[in-house]
């Protein structure tokens, strides 16, 4: 940055209205701490449970939970209207996760306000949250996905026993139930017997009115961060996931010591890792993701690679896949965060209409 050149004012949007608000707080706080102060002037922008925006002082950013923050907003933070956001920030680093955060909602608002932002645009972000649409698009591109069916709440209420019998007949056991639109494994159940189907469905319906029921894959779970470069999207690395639980649960993802992660993988052959890298890029392109994304899947004993959970964003806590894979690529947290901002600015600078 040359003398006299103004720093880019980066609003780090964190908190939010979803089940993942605490994850968002950790992500946003870490991004805020690691923004390069030589280039950027960071501003923490908190979205409360009602969708209102607040400019936070550091003493509130450092609070343990979003509830702790919300209890002190009125007296210690500054409320800001959506229309005024462009007066205090030049760029938005979206650290929101889940519904209203990385599903196209905040992206649409920022498009209307004319504020460039990290991550995918409105449509791709919405696809990144909708597991039913994801699977259809990936399958149409020739990418392997689990066999699945979608059950609506109306269909389930009308004939619970009949639907359960159809699911048991189609998938056998175990099978997987999950909300169509949720993240961080919220509402996900591994169903091992017929009498567990009802509880699995109810757990998923708590979060959405449609449930995705899919086959259980036996294999090694992986995750890969894909970022855009001048030559197109490329994977940073591949991480092998070994959860302590029966699957990669919310606690496995965010509680220290609950999961082991290996970057590069320990149990996946080198040639298979290269295949995974090709498939995650194909998935990224097929879903229209931009800037960066996180693609999760399974490597099976047969050698097949399945894509199970493409995400248009990623958690950014210190121990996240994002920073672990960036470190493997030789980048410090501040460097990879700066890279994302530069990529996003380039993408938004070239677009015609909304991203």
Residues 146-155 have pLDDT tens digits of 999 999 999 9
The rounded distance, in Å, linking the Cα atoms of 245 and 286 is 31
CATH code, 43 = 3.40.50.20
Same domain for 301 and 204: no
Structural domain boundaries, residue 312: 128-143+218-350
Residue 28 lies in a domain: yes
Retrieve residue 318's tokens: 């210190």
The rounded distance, in Å, linking the Cα atoms of 227 and 292 is 4
CATH code, 325 = 3.30.470.20
Q: Give the chain's domain count.
A: 3
Same domain for 186 and 98: no
Assess contact for 12 and 53: CB atoms under 8 A: no
pTM: 0.93
The rounded distance, in Å, linking the Cα atoms of 248 and 211 is 18
Same domain for 234 and 339: yes
Same domain for 250 and 194: no
Question: Mean pLDDT over residues 30-40, rounded?
Answer: 98
Same domain for 329 and 226: yes
102-124 pLDDT, tens digit per residue, is: 999 999 999 999 999 999 999 99
Same domain for 166 and 111: no
Domain boundary among 194, 215, 236: 215
Same domain for 109 and 59: yes
**Which residues, other chains included, contact 276 with Cβ-Cβ below 8 Å and sequence gap of 6+?**
222, 224, 238, 268, 297, 299, 305
Residue 283 lies in a domain: yes
167-173 CB contacts, 8 Å cutoff, 24+ apart: 167/197, 167/213, 168/194, 168/197, 171/147, 171/213, 171/214, 171/215, 171/216, 173/216
CA distance to 156, 187, 224, 226, per residue, from 177 (Å): 13, 8, 24, 27
Same domain for 292 and 245: yes
Nearest to 188, CA basis, from 158, 166, 221:
221
220-271 pLDDT, tens digit per residue, is: 999 999 999 888 999 999 999 997 766 555 454 545 566 789 999 999 999 9
| Mean pLDDT value across the chain | 94
């Amino acid at each position: 940055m040359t003398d006299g050149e103004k720093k880019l004012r980066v609003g780090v949007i964190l908190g939010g209205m979803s089940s993942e608000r605490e994850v968002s707080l950790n992500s946003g706080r870490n991004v805020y701490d690691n923004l390069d102060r030589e280039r950027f002037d960071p501003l923490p922008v908190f979205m409360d449970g009602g969708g209102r925006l607040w400019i936070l002082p550091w003493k509130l950013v450092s609070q343990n939970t979003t509830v702790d923050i919300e209890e002190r907003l009125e007296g210690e933070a500054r409320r800001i209207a959506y229309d005024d956001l462009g007066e205090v920030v030049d760029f938005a680093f979206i650290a929101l996760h889940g519904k209203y955060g990385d599903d196209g909602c905040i992206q649409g608002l920022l498009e209307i306000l004319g504020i460039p932002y990290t991550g995918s645009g409105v449509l791709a972000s919405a696809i990144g949250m909708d597991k039913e649409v994801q699977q259809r698009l990936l399958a149409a591109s020739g990418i392997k996905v689990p066999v699945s069916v979608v059950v609506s709440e109306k269909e389930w209420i009308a004939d619970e026993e009949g639907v359960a019998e159809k699911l048991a007949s189609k998938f056998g056991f175990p099978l997987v139930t999950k909300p169509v639109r949720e993240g961080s494994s919220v509402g996900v159940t591994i169903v091992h017997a017929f009498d567990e189907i009802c509880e699995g469905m109810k757990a998923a319906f708590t979060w959405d009115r449609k449930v995705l029921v899919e086959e259980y894959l036996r294999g090694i779970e992986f995750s890969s961060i894909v970022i855009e470069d001048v030559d197109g999207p490329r994977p940073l690395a591949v991480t092998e996931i070994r959860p302590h639980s029966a699957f990669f649960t919310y606690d496995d993802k965010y509680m220290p010591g609950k999961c082991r992660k290996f970057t590069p993988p320990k149990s996946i052959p080198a040639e298979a890792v290269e295949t995974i890298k090709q498939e995650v890029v194909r998935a990224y392109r097929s879903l229209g993701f931009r800037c960066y994304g996180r693609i999760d899947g399974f490597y099976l004993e047969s050698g097949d690679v399945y894509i199970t959970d493409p995400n248009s964003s990623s958690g950014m806590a210190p121990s996240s896949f994002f920073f672990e894979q960036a470190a493997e690529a030789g980048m410090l947290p501040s460097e990879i965060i700066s890279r994302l901002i530069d990529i996003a600015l380039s993408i938004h600078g070239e677009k015609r209409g909304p991203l």
